[in-house]
Structure 1
Amino acid sequence: MKNNSLVLILLFVNLIGFTQEYEFETTIDLEATDVISQGNTGTCWSFSTSSFLESEIMRLTGKKIDISEMFTVRHTYPKKAWTYVMRQGHAQFSEGGLGHDVINSVSEFGVVPNEIYTGLLNNEKKHSHSKMTDSIKTILKAYINDRKSYTSNLQDDVNAILDAYLGDDIKTFSYDGVRYTPKSFLEMTKINPSDYVSITSFSHEPYYSEFILDIPDNFANGSFFNVPLDELTTIANYALRNGFTIELDCDVSEQTFSSKHGIAVVPENEDRAALIKISPEKRITEAYRQEEFENYNTTDDHLMHITGMLKDQKGTKYYKVKNSWGTSGVGHDGYVYMSEAYFKLKTISIMVHKDAIPNQIKTKLLLK
């Protein structure tokens, strides 16, 4: 009888422990620019990676610079259009993209401050790209369907639409009294695009190999280094502890991902009450992660920026994730606190500076 009573007491204590409201303690908090909104666009890839590069600029130079997301978007659309046409329309043409699209654009075209190129015309206050995207896709389809009757230059027509919706391309500009080109401004920021690598963890390809990840927004056929799941979290934790932030591509379609509450967790019972009170989480294995990816429960939904770590009162680790949905009506001032379990299950990929990877893993990846 005493043993039964003891078991009941222990179960009650354990239940109480897992029904407490969250209390967070910040353990790592790295520099980042202010949370802003991507508006009514699918350009999270540019906002998150631009934010990531802004933190890198602060790390490298100490300068806080708000770089233009739309300058990158402006230079990425012609690449998407060309891919769509050359694949004869059998590809995705949408507002989406990935972190390496920003790095590719930065490498080829440079960067400019946001104050120089906002992508907002005619006193617009919010980004909205649906009409622009539809206009471009219309002429691309017209070209694909009947190239002989398309008498104008397709690339010029795409650029004309981008100019009309986002503004003319920038060749030179002044910033803090200095004249720059986008490429010379990039040099000033100390960003070297070749220093940044994309890393994923899926078992359908060999670990420590580099492969093209087959997801719809990878129109550029970007390559990703593949590591075991435990090493993916090792890289993330090592990066943050050594002053490097992380660009994150993940699934946010789960009912226990909430920007309103600022929480992302994987509770055992999938109860939304876990958004408010601590609940036991699922154990995430490589096999479960792979299954969720292959059955489309984990998809390439959204890109964000990891800038720190926290722990709750039970010692569970969380990543401090900067979102691009603004701050109004959003928990934690536009940030989401993502449990390590959620990160393990729902991360598609991360991007980091190569120096943010532990040497023993870097050696396995043949990275210098």
Structure 2
Amino acid sequence: MKKYLISFGILLAANFTQAQEYKFETVTDVEYTPVISQGRTGTCWSFSTSSFLESEILRETGKQIDLSEMYNVRHTYPVKAENYVMRQGKAQFSEGGLAHDVMNSVAKNGLVPQSVYSGLDQGEDMHNHAEMVAVLTSMLNTYIDQPSGQLSADWKDAVNAVLDVYLGAPVNEFTYEGKTYTPQSFLEMTGIDPKDYVTITSFKDQPDYSQFILNIPDNFSNGSFYNVPLEDFMATIDYALEDGYSVELDVDVSEDTFSGKAGVAVIPANPSDAKSALKSIKPEKEITPELRLQEFQNYSTTDDHLMHITGIVKDQKGNKYYKVKNSWGTSNHGNEGFVYMSEPYLKLKAISIMVHKEAVPENIAQNLSL
């Protein structure tokens, strides 16, 4: 009986050891602005990239500026609409987009602060674009069908009028902290140069250190991506964060083991651990370039969500996680609105990253001719 009790105690201790609840410790942290919510919109691409740019402004100037996410959304919708109409509906028109769409808008239209352009009607405090997108989609489909026999000459003006109603007319001049700016002069003040940023991915079916157009639905603007080996992809993220640069991230969040509520994203080696792995440390799957490509090509990895990586943390066993700033607010979300994403999860489920070109390790930058 005594022997049985001792054995039972050892078993309990082993199970307790295997089911340790997460305890995280900061390894490195880049300056960032507060977590906010994208509301009921599909504009994570603008919220995350704006957050990324806010960290870049902090790094460059020390200024904390709350940028307008909706300013670049407002300027991107006409581009989406033209792509959809001129392709006669054989393209995607949706709320989605990518980080380079923000950079394209910034290069052309500049930046403005949130205090100048909120994209909200007076009295509103949450974004909801469902009605606006439904109205725009119906309009564009009507133009494509050409009920009058030809495409209306003023269809773009009509689209802009709808956007002005729902989001507000673009601003040309404004005052910020006692100074008068245009969107372009405000951009110059922030120190941001859109040409300084590169988008990098890693897929084994593309030549290493080449550029290609990644075929994902939200790449309506046919943005080009640098392709690097998976070890270089991860090394770039680590190098950037350790050198004071943050990282923009496009990632699949459809997995059961991604949880905003728990604030954790993992890839357990044993699928039966999917639920418990959100609460306690479990062994994770080994990720290879072959598995990464397979998951992408069979639609298990999809272009779901853009987020902002601001640091690295580790659990009590020394496992590495990336501190990823989400745009779902902080209410009922773990880790104060951040998701701690394990290294295997990021290796497998990241679609791409955007970084300042100086945040790319020198040997990799040379191979990319940056």
For the aligned pair, the TM-score class normalised by the smaller chain equals over 0.9
Say if 1:18 and 1:280, in contact at 8 Å, map to a contact too.
no
**What are the residue-to-residue correspondences of 1:126-275 with 2, within 5 Å?**
126-146=126-146, 148=149, 151=152, 153-270=154-271, 271-275=274-278
Secondary structure of the corresponding residue to residue 319 of structure 1: strand
Q: Distance in 2 between matches of 1:282 and 1:13?
A: 24
**What are the residue-to-residue correspondences of 1:4-23 with 2, within 5 Å?**
16-23=16-23
Partner of 1:4: none
Q: Distance in 2 between matches of 1:91 and 1:31?
A: 38
Secondary structure of the corresponding residue to residue 221 of structure 2: coil
Sort the Cα spacing of 1:151 and 1:286 in 2 relative to 1 into closer, same or farther, 3 A: closer
Say if 2:208 and 2:228, in contact at 8 Å, map to a contact too.
yes
Deviates more, 1:238-247 or 1:129-138: 129-138
Please report the TM-score for the alignment, with normalisation by the length of structure 1: 0.95
Identity %: 60
Write the letter of the residue equivalent to 1:45.
W
The CA deviation string for residues 4-56 of structure 1, in whole angstroms up to 9 with x for no partner, is: xxxx9999877544310011000111110000000000000000000000000
Secondary structure of the corresponding residue to residue 162 of structure 2: helix
Q: Distance in 2 between matches of 1:152 and 1:14?
A: 73
Say if 1:263 and 1:337, in contact at 8 Å, map to a contact too.
yes
Q: Distance in 1 between matches of 2:31 and 2:338?
A: 14
Partner of 2:285: 282
Please report the TM-score for the alignment, with normalisation by the length of structure 2: 0.95
Partner of 2:358: 355
The CA deviation string for residues 309-352 of structure 1, in whole angstroms up to 9 with x for no partner, is: 00001100000000000000000110000000100000000000
1:129 positional shift: 0.6
Deviates more, 1:267-276 or 1:242-251: 267-276
The alignment's C-alpha RMSD in Å is 1.6
The CA deviation string for residues 224-262 of structure 1, in whole angstroms up to 9 with x for no partner, is: 000011111000000000000000000000000000000
Sort the Cα spacing of 1:296 and 1:324 in 2 relative to 1 into closer, same or farther, 3 A: same
Q: Distance in 2 between matches of 1:204 and 1:104?
A: 27
Say if 2:51 and 2:308, in contact at 8 Å, map to a contact too.
yes
1:273 positional shift: 0.2
**Match status 1:323 vs 2:339:** no
Write the letter of the residue equivalent to 1:108.
K
Q: Distance in 1 between matches of 2:275 and 2:367?
A: 40
Partner of 2:54: 54
Sort the Cα spacing of 1:133 and 1:15 in 2 relative to 1 into closer, same or farther, 3 A: same
Q: Distance in 2 between matches of 1:171 and 1:13?
A: 66
Partner of 1:5: none
**Match status 1:313 vs 2:313:** no
5+ unaligned residues in a row in structure 2: which ranges? 1-7
Sort the Cα spacing of 1:198 and 1:79 in 2 relative to 1 into closer, same or farther, 3 A: same
Q: Distance in 2 between matches of 1:104 and 1:150?
A: 27
Secondary structure of the corresponding residue to residue 341 of structure 1: helix
Secondary structure of the corresponding residue to residue 250 of structure 2: strand
Say if 1:142 and 1:150, in contact at 8 Å, map to a contact too.
no
Write the letter of the residue equivalent to 1:208.
Y
Q: Distance in 2 between matches of 1:347 and 1:180?
A: 37
1:203 positional shift: 1.1
**Match status 1:334 vs 2:323:** no
Secondary structure of the corresponding residue to residue 165 of structure 2: helix
Partner of 1:3: none
Partner of 2:5: none
Partner of 2:95: 95
Question: Which segments of structure 1 move beyond 4 Å, counting only runs of 4 or more?
Answer: 8-16, 149-152
Q: Distance in 1 between matches of 2:156 and 2:342?
A: 45
The CA deviation string for residues 52-103 of structure 1, in whole angstroms up to 9 with x for no partner, is: 0000000000000000000000000000000001111000000000000000
Deviates more, 1:199-208 or 1:38-47: 199-208
